[in-house]
Structure 1
């Protein structure tokens, strides 16, 4: 009786799955606050919601071109460039001076997201064993969806941790302030001793 051994997955596959999870967590942390950031420029609710829609729209429009970049440059360069575009555009959103700049930066993030996601899919198919391609593709999709679910929760948990840390800091120093007394001078000490009942 022969036993079939499951082939060991290469490290590159686990790195791609972890990268998808990390990107999805970051998107889940940033996406809920983008409409509030857009509203700070004095735009309408529809325009503020368009900040989120611009990311998805550019993913849809740029998907065919991203496949062409993968064929021309290869999966690894396209994956790296896409990640760098997403990271740079997301970080630049924090210093956007106008609503137009914020909209352009989110659109650029959608382009980069399309590039690295299509390149990651191509790498997974090429590196995965033939009999495990379906399972590995499901791992990658599940990691991205799980990261998207945990992203907003991680943001709320970070707020709670900050609030709890501030409360602990206040409680730690409040008793110290109440217990500390100003040192008495020698004259005050002698007066207190003389007035003390014997």
Structure 2
């Protein structure tokens, strides 16, 4: 009976009218928005040390490292609450509006961060940047959940969204290093090289907003508000809390792994090139695994059978990182952990969207907040 009620609520949430399936152009705009946000995060990572050193006027490596860590944490922390709020707002004013506001806000805060005159302004810019970025992911997924008719199509579309984000993380740091070599002149003074990646990502975010505004229908609004449960019962659907915990644990495991790689690389004195190779391997393996798992070759319903083994493999990979000493062994551990994360990461959002009795934006905002909390 509970499952029937959940499905009834989900159907009402989507709206009284049947919604047209997402077109390839519309899905491309959503994929581009996920790619741009991930790229905007990754493109500035290579130049953050230069920004901190210039704005703080400090040359102490320990001080600069702490500031970079705090700046990264500020970006991620801002997305915890913002993801939930943006998902809720997208149910009130429409998906397209929230996506456009998120992308434009992301562009403006990137540009403001590029031109920051002090370290405090850079912190404010990164916090706002993370908040606007958080509006894009859950809203785009909610739009897919609203418009994709079949569960298989929705699962594969969710997987493609995750792949678009990974691609952005792969391209971002490389593009950031290349962009530092560009010289821009705004007519008043030459722009410092470290600000160019911020401005480049800002321009791409504006282009993404224009694409979303042009290709997404603006007349699709979520249906009437649906209560998740009866008075006195849990506000979450059966099994939803476990899915949220799974999303947070997977994100925490991957985040801890990234930190462990950085610390272990420094301890073994492998150098920046080795660290870059390990992170590139992580992203490429995740991209390849998701491309396979969410391809037509694999039945989406069978993906759930891979979660428990993937968690076990991730745990084993995390356990051996502290005792590995060679680059080849480290690359093997990277491949193992990133393959596991590639299987696990996109699935909680897809399952939450299936069992939800509330509006998709709100539910996927909560799931995105759980991921951010884990990170």
TM-score normalised according to structure 1 size? 0.70
Structure 1 residues 36, 158: CA separation in 2 closer, same or farther (over 3 Å shift)? Answer: closer
Matched, 1:83 2:103: yes
Q: Choose from 77, 81, 90 the match for 1:57.
A: 77
| CA pair 54-120 structure 1, distance change in 2 beyond 3 A | same
Query: Is the 2:35–2:164 contact (alpha carbons within 8 Å) kept by the matching residues of 1?
Result: yes
Q: Larger helix proportion, structure 1 or 2?
A: 1
1:75-154 to structure 2, matched below 5 A, reads 75-130=95-150, 131-154=152-175
Alpha-carbon contact 2:46-2:176 (below 8 Å) kept: no
Counterparts of 2:87 and 2:33, CA distance in 1:
19
Task: Answer whether contact 1:10 1:127 (CA < 8 A) is retained.
Answer: no
Q: Give 1:77 shift.
A: 0.6
In the TM superposition, residue 8 of structure 1 has moved relative to its aligned partner by 8.4
2: CA distance, partners of 1:98 / 1:74: 37
1:74 alignment partner, one of 75, 85, 94: 94
Give me the whole-angstrom Cα distance separating, in 2, the residues matched to 1:82 and 1:123. Answer: 14
The within-5 A match list for 1:155-174 is 155-157=176-178
2:135 counterpart SS class: helix
| Higher CA-based Rg | 1
1:32 aligned partner: 46
Q: Deviations over 1:25-60 (max 9, x none)?
A: 232211321233123222633123211211101012
- 1:152-184 deviation digits (Å, cap 9, x = unpaired): 12233456899xxxxxxxxxxxxxxxxxxxxxx
Is contact 2:22–2:147 with CA below 8 Å preserved after alignment? Answer: no
Deviation at 1:111, TM superposition (A): 0.8
RMSD across aligned C-alpha pairs, in angstroms?
A: 2.3
The answer to whether the 8 A contact 2:38-2:166 is kept is yes
Distance 2:119 2:178 in 1: 29
Distance 1:51 1:73 in 2: 31
Distance in 2, Cα, partners of 1:64 & 1:100: 26
Unmatched runs of 5 consecutive residues or more in structure 1: 1-6, 163-198
> 1:62 & 1:160 partners in 2: Cα distance?
34
For structure 2, list consecutive stretches of 5 or more residues without a partner in the other structure. 1-20, 184-375
Kindly indicate whether the alpha-carbon contact (under 8 Å) linking 2:34 and 2:161 is maintained by their aligned counterparts in 1. yes
The residue matched to 1:61 in structure 2 has which SS? helix
Distance in 1 separating the partners of 2:118 and 2:80 = 25
2-structure distance, mates of 1:161, 1:94: 14
Size of the aligned set, in residue pairs, is 156
Residue deviations 1:125-176, cap 9 Å, x none?
Answer: 12223230000100010011111111112233456899xxxxxxxxxxxxxx
Q: CA–CA distance in 2 between the matches of 1:148 and 1:104?
A: 23
Give 1:36-47 correspondences, 5 Å limit. 36-42=50-56, 44-45=63-64, 46-47=66-67
Contact 2:33–2:103 (CA<8 Å) still a contact in 1?
Answer: no
Residues 62 and 8 (structure 1 numbering): CA distance in 2 closer, same or farther, change over 3 Å?
Answer: closer
Q: Verify the 8 A CA contact 2:55 2:119 in the aligned structure 1.
A: yes
